Amino acid sequence: MTQYECLYILKPDMEDEAKDAAVKKFSEIVTSNNGEIVKIDEWGKKRLAYPINYIEDGYYVLMYFKSAPELPSELERNFKISDDIMRYMVTLDQSV
């Protein structure tokens, strides 16, 4: 299994329950596809480097996981269809 890191930005105006549900949803996508969550680090609300659709803040979540090489594309597909995700990026974890 390969280790990946995934950073995604949620909309800042989401309620706490909705944020928790979104984080849980994306971590369950990993575990339901035979992946393993190594660590989830919620950075919280931070200012974006540039406005996205006139929104200047976002809720940052960094997730480390191990999985087969096919899983990142499935995770990205789910990020694309989610209305709560502003930006995302899945990369190989180079610190391993």
Are 7 and 62 in contact by the 8 Å Cβ rule? The answer is yes
Write the pLDDT tens digit of every residue in 10-41. Answer: 999 999 999 999 999 999 999 999 999 999 99
pTM for this entry: 0.92
Alpha-helical segments (H) within 8-96? 16-32, 71-81
64 HSE (CA, 13 A, CB side): 8
Give the pLDDT confidence score for residue 94 in this predicted structure.
81
Give the pLDDT confidence score for residue 96 in this predicted structure.
63
Domains and CATH numbers, the chain: 2-92 (3.30.70.60)
Are 57 and 47 in contact by the 8 Å Cβ rule? The answer is yes
Write the pLDDT tens digit of every residue in 73-89. Answer: 999 999 999 999 999 99
